[in-house]
Amino acid sequence: MDEGTGAEPRSKDSTGRVVPFPTAPVVPQVAFDRSELRTLFNLYGRMVSAGEWRDYALDFRRDKAVFSIYRRSSETPLFRVEKDPKLARRQGAFAVISAAGIVLKRGHDLARVLAALEKPLRVV
C-alpha cells in the first residue's frame, strides 16, 4: 500500500512510471451451499459413528463440486457425491458415483440421491 493513501499497491516500470500490479483473473467455481453441506455432513457423521467411513475430501472445480468419501485416507474414494450444474435441467445436478465409476443414483434432490448410501434397516 502507498503511505496512508489507501490506494492499491503499485510498482514502477523501466521508464519510471507507476503502474498497478496485475490482478489474477477470477475463476468461477461450483460449490456446495450451506444446506447441501449440512445434508452431506449429517450422513457422513452417521456413517463415521457406525465405523463405515473415516475420511472425506472436498474438491471445488470450475465445472463441478465433488465430496469424496474414504474408508482410509490412503485409498481411493469409496463414493463420490458430485454436483454438476450443467446437468441440472436434464438428469439432475447431483450424482452418487461408486469407486468403480458406476453412477448409483442421480437426481435433482440431494437428500434423495444420498439415500443410495444409507444402510437399510435390519430386523434385530
* DSSP, residue by residue, 35-98: HHHHHHHHHHHHHHHTTS--EEEEEE-SS-EEEEEESSTTS--SEEEEE-GGGTTTT-SEEEEE
Confidence band of 7 (pLDDT split at 50, 70, 90): low
Confidence band of 82 (pLDDT split at 50, 70, 90): very high
- Answer yes or no: are the C-beta atoms of 57 and 77 closer than 8 Å: yes
Q: How many CB atoms lie within 10 A of CB 87?
A: 16
Confidence band of 44 (pLDDT split at 50, 70, 90): very high
Distance CA 33, CA 122 (A): 33
